[in-house]
Amino acid sequence: MCDCVVATAPETRDGTALFGKNSDRHERECQPFVQVPGAHHAPGSTVACTHVEIPQVAETYTVMGHSPWWVWGFEQGVNEHAVAIGNETVFSREALEERPGLIGMDLVRLGLERGRSAREALEVMATLLETHGQGGPAFAPGGAGYHNAFLIADPDEAWVLHTSNRRWAARRVRRDGLSNHISLAADWEIGSRDLEAYARSMGWWSQAKRLDVAAAYRNPHVPGRISEGRLRRSRALLERGAGQLDVATMQSILRDHGDGGPVRLPGSTVEDEAYYTLCMHSEPVGTTTASLVAPLAAERRSPWPVWISFAAPCTGVFLPVYLDGVLPPELARGGAEPDASSAWWAFKVLQDAAASDFPQHTPRLREAWKGLEARVEAERLQVEAAAARARRGNSPYEATRLVSEFMARSWREAIAQARELARAISG
């Protein structure tokens, strides 16, 4: 389960496109944040994805993103061309292919490594999907697979892409959300050649008018309450801020627990839509395990900040990371078992401590993080200005050093504070 949100330039406060996503996985599935530099590859090279090996391209771009510890790909990430992509589990009438293929997280990373714009990334992903298919465990190393939807954005436009095995459909969006069901109707703009023919051959679409993708392909046996309420909520919050959306707004959307307060609306049960909030605490369906907010400016300055959070964002903190620098090693560490050297596990321990009484602890944690957030923001502006001056002065290594040391200070202070807060709550 996951939720994505996007707002293109006309919808935001300063004309910068904004992308956000919560990655909802099993609550103890560690999700480090990793950086992969761009590279040139020899002819005939291959790349080993999560379950299959595919041909490599001549050049891949620098990327960074959240990656479940056992997966090659990303749940969400960005590349050096200010393209951002996130994926969603969706449920199709069509049975998933039994043989191994690419999983949605592989396609996110491949789109980022090979796409210089949202449209180019979409075309890369669609071609790979048609060529290699979807298949293999994606929920857990030994778990089930699933079909995928994607939100793909750059400074100029955003696309929603829905898939069913090797079939797909996509359309551009201006301000929208994406959740865990096929939501494209007859408004799709481009799609695979057999999209409509296959639906008709299976008896899923018999009308004379244009194919409604959701009506034809969506699995009617998966309860809508799991994702329909969340999609309505994200769209409502985006509409509420239309024209004034900024990074802080997108962070608040990803932390949202409805108007009833922390965790979920009072009195809700697993049978209610209100149980499944945008910031998920809904095992066994899913828990938010990592979050990302990326401003995608048309004239991207260097260094370029992207904000990330580990574990649930309602109990943790969003801090900036940069493709222009070297990420602190703590961000990329962590596996199946608790790890004292892992940033993700430090924030997961805090989340677990707060779970003893979310309504009491969550507001206190939000207040406790304000001091760090203010200090980091003040220093961020100074560091970015200094790094920009260094680059203009032909000192790229100095710029990288400034940004890298700033990330190291910020994140190590945040990790230490997360541990102190967890100890204070646990008593």
Which residues does the annotation mark as catalytic? 2
- Closest Cα partner for 122 from 107, 135, 132? 107
Q: How many C-beta atoms surround the C-beta of residue 26 within 10 A?
A: 15
What's the rounded Cα separation, in Å, for the pair 307 and 261?
24
Q: What per-residue string of b and e applies to 252-270 under the rule 16 or more CB within 10 Å gives b? A: ebbbbbbeeebbbeeebee
Distance of CA 336 to the CA centre of its chain: 20
Q: What per-residue string of b and e applies to 186-196 under the rule 16 or more CB within 10 Å gives b? A: eebebbbeebb
Amino acid at 110: L
Q: Give all strands (DSSP E) within 284-367, no chain letters.
A: 286-296, 305-310, 319-322
CA distances from 405 to 330, 395, 398 (A): 13, 16, 11
What's the rounded Cα separation, in Å, for the pair 137 and 172?
30
What's the rounded Cα separation, in Å, for the pair 30 and 345?
7
- Closest Cα partner for 71 from 151, 138, 144? 138
What's the rounded Cα separation, in Å, for the pair 61 and 293?
20
Q: How many helices (H) and strands (E) does the chain have?
A: 9, 19
Q: What is the rounded (10 degree) CA torsion for 133, 116, 138, 160? A: -80
Here the tokens at position 278 are 């945008």
